[in-house]
Structure 1
Amino acid sequence: MTFVQIIDCRTSRFDDINRLMDTWVEQTKGKRTATHAVVGKDHSDASHFIEIVEFPSYEEAMRNSNLPETDKIFREMVALCDEMPTFTDLDVVRDEQLNADTSRRFFETIATGGELPPLDDLVAENYHDHDPANEQDTMGMDALRREVEMWRSGFDYTFTLDDQITQGDRVCNRWTWRGTQKAEFMGIPSTGKQVTMSGTTIHRYGEHEKIVEAWWEYDRLGLMAQLGALEGLEQ
């Protein structure tokens, strides 16, 4: 079970503490077990700081605490605080990656059969799409819908999300696309073939947790080969 420790302290010497933590990171390289750390400053009290540190488990957190470097840095940190810091230990019982869930729903929605559902709750009106297969970037919700409809008119398809990695306002999605060609696609007559393509899409999120930008990379050449579009071109 994921474990989180919250460190609450007051100090007028945060810059010194920050440098101290940089020293700890350097000294414990390859030893520390923390996977994620966030430091926040109280918006209404510039001397109040909270650090949230995530570990894979309570046992890993204890291993981290027992490092001699951690003990030394802790004693130096206490000396820089205006009062004794407090510690709160939490077992994580719910952890929602909301942007990752929105990305998952985006791929499920554009692969839904029948009429393309609205995308307004997933994508911003000022959406900006980067696709190396297009000469120009796709701008706006309407342009995105036209691009999606082009694929939907040529194939019945599904997406399988193989990996999702979130960082800040971005979600990286590694996916496998499986489709059956049902109509002409980019000048290629309908073949009825079942085809597969792998790719990666990075979504950037903006206001109201909607997708505002995306970067696509996928094996379009491999798809064309499966459809027989490259026959006669090979040397």
Structure 2
Amino acid sequence: MTFVQLIDCRTSRFDEMDRLMDTWVEQTKGKRTATHAVVGKDRSDTSHFVEIVEFPSYEEAMRNSGLPETERIFQGMLALCDEMPTFTDLDVVRDEQLNPATSRQFFERAGRAGTDAVFEGFSDDYLEHDPANSGEVDLEGSRQVYAGWRQAFDLAFRVDDQIAQDDRVCTRWTLAGRHKGDFLGIPATGQDVTMSGMTWHRFRDGLICEGWWQYDRAGLMEQLGAFGE
């Protein structure tokens, strides 16, 4: 179970503490078990800071605490605090990454749901970047591109991997389908095909507002016999 520790402290020497944290990061490379750390400053009290540190489990957190480097940094931290910091230990019971879930929903619906449902999580001013197109494509253009793929293939996406950072989500996916209609001048072959690719989605206000696509179209064309023998 994911474990999170909240460290609540007050300090008028944050710059020194920040450098201390940089030292800990450097000294614990290859040893630390923390996977994510966020430091926030109280908007109403500039001496009040909260650090949120995430670990894969409580046991991993304890292993991290046992590192000699962690103990040395902790003693240095105490010296910089205006008062004794407090620690809150939390087992994570709900963890929702909302933007990745919206991207995943798009891929899970594609090929199975109607166009309106597939593009439900997109903004009205959505822009798409795809090397197969001559330029940017707006939301209506993206709908038309999708309709073309649906006309040419019975298809479904499998989400293989996702990462998220700030307002962006990258999804690595595999498409599997059967060629049932004209595709770039190639008439239906009935051929089962697969294609791998990656898509970056940018989010604004919880909606997908921009997308970048990269995929192995040459490999797909080869499966359809476009290049001959």
Normalised to the residue count of structure 2, the TM-score between the two structures is: 0.95
| Conserved? CA contact 1:174–1:201, under 8 Å | yes
Give the aligned length.
Answer: 229
Give the Cα–Cα distance (whole angstroms) in 2 for the partners of residues 69 and 204 of structure 1: 38
Determine whether 1:44 maps to 2:44: yes
Q: Say which SS state the counterpart of residue 117 (structure 1) adopts.
A: helix
Residue number among 216, 219, 223 corresponding to 1:222 in the alignment? 219
Aligned counterparts of 1:37 and 1:185: Cα–Cα separation in 2: 48
Aligned to 2:84: 84
Q: Which residue of 2 aligns with 1:13?
A: 13
Structure 2 residue matching 1:82: 3-state secondary structure: coil
The residue number in structure 2 matching 1:212 is 209
1:110-121 aligned within 5 A: 110-113=110-113, 115-118=114-117, 121=120
- Corresponding letter in the other structure for 2:100: A
Structure 1, unaligned runs of 5 or more: none
Deviations 1:198-234 (A, max 9, x none): 1111111112x111111111110011011111116xx
Shift of 1:108: 2.3
- 2:115 partner amino acid: L
Q: Which residue number corresponds to residue 123 of structure 1?
A: 122
2:167 is matched with 169
**Over 3 Å off, 4+ runs:** 118-121
- Counterparts of residues 128-207 of structure 1 (less than 5 Å): 128-138=127-137, 140-207=138-205
What is the RMSD computed on CA atoms of the aligned residues?
Answer: 1.4
Q: CA deviation at 1:17?
A: 0.6
Q: Which residue of 1 aligns with 2:104?
A: 104
Identity %: 64
Paired with 1:176 and 1:56, the residues of 2 have a C-alpha distance of 28
3-state SS of paired residue (1:102): helix
Residues 146-178 of structure 1 deviation map (CA, whole Å, 9 limit, x = unaligned): 111111111110001111112222111111101
Structure 1 residues 63 and 77: CA distance shift in structure 2, 3 A: same
Structure 2 contact 106–119 (Cα < 8 Å) conserved: no
Question: Is 1:74 aligned with 2:49?
Answer: no
TM-score by length of 1: 0.93
1:65 maps onto 2:65 in alignment: yes
In the alignment, the residues of structure 2 paired with residue 181 and residue 29 of structure 1 have an alpha-carbon distance, to the nearest angstrom, of: 49
Once the 2 structures are TM-superposed, how far is the Cα of residue 76 of structure 1 from its aligned partner? 1.1
